[in-house]
Amino acid sequence: MPDGIYAALSGAIANERALEVTANNLANVSTTGFKGDRIAERAEFSKELARQNLTDQQVAIDEVRIDMRQGSLHETKNPLDVAAANDGFFVVNTPDGERYTRAGHFMLDGSGRLMTPEGYPVQGEGGNIDIGITGTVRILDDGSVVRDNVTVDRLKMVRFDNPAGLVREGSTRFSEGNQTPRAVEANVHAGFVENSNVSPVRGMTDLISISRGHELMHRAIELFREVDQKTTSDLGR
C-alpha cells in the first residue's frame, strides 16, 4: 500500500473531528452564553513509519479548546436577565454538584426559586435563591436579587485562572476540571444577556473550507487505493 495513504487517512480523521466541532458551533449560534470550541491541528511523524525509515507526516487534532472570549450583549429588558460584566461565571446547583455558566437568562419556578431554563437553581451567597411568588422581582447591576425593593440575596459568582481549561457539560454549563473556583464580586448588566461568541459568517466559512479539505482527503485515499490495486495487478502478471 502506498505510504502516503497514512497521511491522507490521518487528515481525513482530523477533518471529520473538525467538522463535528464546527457544526456544533454553528448549531449554537443563537444559544445565550454559548462559548465556541476552537481546534488546533499538528503535523507529526508516525512512530510506526519512523521505525520503517519513512518520513510520511500525519495530521492529528492537537487540542480542542473552549473559546472564552465574551460574546456581544443583547438587551432583553427582562428583570431576571443578567450578563456578566467581568470574567466571572454564574453558579448553578445540579445533581452532580455546582456548575458554572455565562448564560444569565433566569426565571422563577412555581415556588419562587430563581432557576435556569434547564431547571437548575441559581446560587446566591446564601445558597438557592428563594424569592417567593409574590411581589416585583428584579436583579440589580451589583447582583442583588430584589423583591419589592428588599434585597433577598446576591448572585454568587466565581472566576477561574484558566477559563479555557473548564470542562464543557451541555451547551452552556461547565465543571471546574482540575481548577479551583475563586469568589468574585458580582458585577452584571441587568436586563441583558450575553450572546453566543460564535460568528455565523466565520463558522460557515470554516465549514466550507473543512468540507472541501475532507473531500480532497477522501479523493486522495481513493487515488492511493487505485494505485495500490494497479501495482498489485501488474506484479501478478
177 has a pLDDT exceeding 50: yes
The pTM (predicted TM-score) of the whole model is 0.77
What's the distance, CA 200 to chain centroid? 15
pLDDT the model gives residue 38: 85
Nearest to 89 by CA among 197, 192, 196, 182: 182
Give the Cα separation of 36 and 38 in Å (integer): 7
Cα 224 off chain centre by: 37
Place of cell 510506526: 48
Q: Give tens-digit pLDDT for 140-158.
A: 999 999 999 999 999 999 9
